[in-house]
Amino acid sequence: MVADFGLSKEEIFDGRNSGLKGTYGYMDPAYISTSKLTTKSDIYSFGIIVFELITAIHPHQNLMEYINLAAMDHDGIDEILDKQLVGKCNLEEVRQLAKIGHKCLHKSPRKRPSIGEVSQLISRIKQRRQRCLTEDNLSFASNNYLYRLEDRQVELSRMSTIKLAETV
């Protein structure tokens, strides 16, 4: 699981070992119910990381509840945006990034984007920002959040490649 960066441990539920390895809050619900880890499980974890960066809310602090509440309103992400980012970021970029995060968290793993699709969507945000950079020096990227996401994205791609190589 990508969110654990090799530090995963077996989860214990009701005093019994579950056989699941990961960190609660980052684990894909489909993985929890089936015990089958897929690249789409990593995509789910990446979605959690996206929202953790946008909101500064840890998954153990009911992050999913905040995400679900924000999803009810077009500008809902504005309400859960990390207060340190308010006034220092491009809200439209944050909203676009949140849309990517929502796609990654889709309940059905089949409907989640591939890492390639996630990469393209993030690249489009960056391209738009680069075109507008001279107009708006308070871009979301000035806080290095998109660059940090890119680093996670590259790491996710590497891990997916490693996992595929191990299964072949």
pLDDT computed for residue 32 by the predictor:
83
Dihedral, CA atoms, 67, 73, 74, 79, nearest 10 degrees? -60
CA dist 19 and 56 (Å) reads 30
Pairing relationship of beta strands 16-22 and 9-13 according to DSSP bridges? antiparallel
Token representation of residue 94: 């944050």
Give me the residue spans of the domains in the chain.
38-167
* Partners of residue 9 on adjacent β-strands: 22
Torsion of CA 27, 13, 35, 112, to 10 degrees: -30
Per-residue pLDDT of the chain (168 residues; tens, 9 = 90+): 444 444 444 444 455 545 667 777 888 888 888 888 888 999 999 999 999 999 999 998 999 999 988 888 877 888 899 999 888 888 889 999 999 999 999 999 999 999 999 999 999 998 888 877 655 555 554 556 666 676 777 777 777 666 555 555
Rounded CA-CA distance 133/50 in Å is 22
Would you say the C-alpha torsion 94, 44, 118, 166 has a positive or negative sign? positive
The Cα-based distances of 165 to 32, 140, 147, 160, 162 in angstroms read 24, 35, 27, 9, 5
What letter represents residue 122's amino acid?
A: I
Q: Where are the alpha helices (DSSP H) in the chain?
A: 29-34, 39-55, 63-71, 76-80, 91-104, 115-132, 145-167
pLDDT given for residue 70 in this prediction: 85
